[in-house]
A and B are shown apart, each in its own frame.
Chain A
Amino acid sequence: MTAIGTRMPRAEDPRLLRGRGRFGDDFSAPGQLHARVVRSPSAHGELRAVDVTEAWSVPGIAAVITAADLPRNPVIPVRLAIAGTDLSEFLQPVLARDTVRYVGEPLAVIVGADPYACEDAAELVGIEIADQPAVLDARQVPARVAAELTRGYGDPAAAFAGAAHVVEIDLAIGRHSGVPLEPRCLLAVPGREPGQLAIFGMTKVPVWNRDLLADLLGVDETLIRVHAIDAGGGFGVRGEFYPEDFLIPWLALRLERPVKWAEDRAEHLVAVNHSRQQYHRVAAAFDADGRLLALTDDIIQDNGAYCRTHGVAVPELTAAMLPGPYRVPAYRGRVRVVLTNKTPCGTYRAPGRFEGTAAREHLLDVAATRLGLDPVALRERNLLTGAELPHERPISTLGTDMILDTGDYPALLAAAVSEASRLGYQRRAAAGAGGGRRRRGFGLAMFVEKSGLGPQETADVTVSRSGAVHVCSGGTSLGQGIETVLAQIAADALGADPRAVQVTAGDTAAQPFGAGSWASRSTVVGGSAVHQAALAVRRRAIELAARVLEAAEEDLDLAGGSVSVRGDPAVSLTLADLARAAAPASRYLSKGEPAGLSARRRFEVSHMTYPYGVHAAVVEVDPGTGRVRVLRYLVAYEVGRAINPMLVEGQLRGGVAQGIGGSLLEEFRYDEDGQPQAVTFIEYRLPTAAEIPPVDVLLCQDAPSPGNPLGVMGAGEGGISAVGAAVANAVRAALGLPGSVGQLPLTPARVCALAGAMGVTS
Chain B
Amino acid sequence: MSTHPISLRVNGREHQLTVEARRTLADMLRHDLGYTGTHLGCEHGICGACTVLVDGQPARACLVFGVQADGTEVRTVEGLADGEQLSDLQQAFSDHHALQCGFCTPGFLMLAEAYLAEAYLAEDGADELTEERARELVASNLCRCTGYQGIIEAIVATARARRK
A16 to chain B: which residues have CB within 8 Å?
99, 101-102, 105
User: Is the Cβ of B150 less than 8 Å from the Cβ of A23?
Assistant: no
In whole angstroms, what is the CA distance A63 to B41 when docked? 27
Q: Which of A17, A23, A654 has the most CB of B within 10 A?
A: A17
User: Is the Cβ of A265 less than 8 Å from the Cβ of B147?
Assistant: no
User: Is the Cβ of A265 less than 8 Å from the Cβ of B94?
Assistant: no
User: Is the Cβ of A18 less than 8 Å from the Cβ of B41?
Assistant: no
* Residue B49 interfacial (CB < 8 Å): yes
User: Is the Cβ of B94 less than 8 Å from the Cβ of A9?
Assistant: yes
In whole angstroms, what is the CA distance A647 to B142 when docked? 20
In whole angstroms, what is the CA distance A116 to B86 when docked? 36
Task: Please tell me which stretch of A435-443, A537-545, A685-693 contacts chain B, meaning at least 4 of its Cβ atoms lie within 8 angstroms of it.
Answer: A685-693
B148 to chain A: which residues have CB within 8 Å?
657, 688-689, 692
Contacting B at CB under 8 A, from A139-179, are 178-179
In whole angstroms, what is the CA distance A25 to B29 when docked? 13
User: Is the Cβ of B76 less than 8 Å from the Cβ of A694?
Assistant: no
Total A residues in contact with B, Cβ cutoff 8 Å: 54
How many A-B residue contacts, CB cutoff 8 Å? 171
* Residue A13 interfacial (CB < 8 Å): yes
B143 to chain A: which residues have CB within 8 Å?
181
User: Is the Cβ of A17 less than 8 Å from the Cβ of B99?
Assistant: yes
A19 to chain B: which residues have CB within 8 Å?
35-38, 76-78, 106
Contacting B at CB under 8 A, from A172-191, are 178-183
Total B residues in contact with A, Cβ cutoff 8 Å: 57
Minimum Cβ distance to chain A for residue B159 (Å): 16
User: Is the Cβ of B20 less than 8 Å from the Cβ of A181?
Assistant: no
Within the complex, which residue of B37, B84, B152 is in contact with A689, where a contact is CB–CB below 8 Å?
A: B152
Secondary structure call for the A interface: loop
Within the complex, which residue of A183, A646, A680 is in contact with B97, where a contact is CB–CB below 8 Å?
A: A646
User: Is the Cβ of B93 less than 8 Å from the Cβ of A654?
Assistant: no
* Residue B90 interfacial (CB < 8 Å): yes
B54 to chain A: which residues have CB within 8 Å?
none
Within the complex, which residue of A479, A690, A695 is in contact with B145, where a contact is CB–CB below 8 Å?
A: A479
In whole angstroms, what is the CA distance A650 to B1 when docked? 47
In whole angstroms, what is the CA distance A232 to B144 when docked? 9
In whole angstroms, what is the CA distance A28 to B27 when docked? 13
B77 to chain A: which residues have CB within 8 Å?
17-19
Minimum Cβ distance to chain B for residue A257 (Å): 17
B104 to chain A: which residues have CB within 8 Å?
181, 232
A646 to chain B: which residues have CB within 8 Å?
97
In whole angstroms, what is the CA distance A695 to B149 when docked? 8
In whole angstroms, what is the CA distance A653 to B76 when docked? 28
User: Is the Cβ of B40 less than 8 Å from the Cβ of A689?
Assistant: no
A183 to chain B: which residues have CB within 8 Å?
40-41
* Residue A681 interfacial (CB < 8 Å): yes
CB nearest to A681 among chain B residues: B46
In whole angstroms, what is the CA distance A298 to B59 when docked? 50
Minimum Cβ distance to chain A for residue B105 (Å): 6
User: Is the Cβ of B142 less than 8 Å from the Cβ of A688?
Assistant: yes
Within the complex, which residue of A23, A264, A478, A481 is in contact with B39, where a contact is CB–CB below 8 Å?
A: A23
* Residue B138 interfacial (CB < 8 Å): yes
* Residue B44 interfacial (CB < 8 Å): yes
* Residue A83 interfacial (CB < 8 Å): no
Q: Which of A181, A183, A264, A692 has the most CB of B within 10 A?
A: A181
In whole angstroms, what is the CA distance A179 to B80 when docked? 28
CB nearest to A182 among chain B residues: B103
User: Is the Cβ of A14 less than 8 Å from the Cβ of B144?
Assistant: no
* Residue A667 interfacial (CB < 8 Å): no
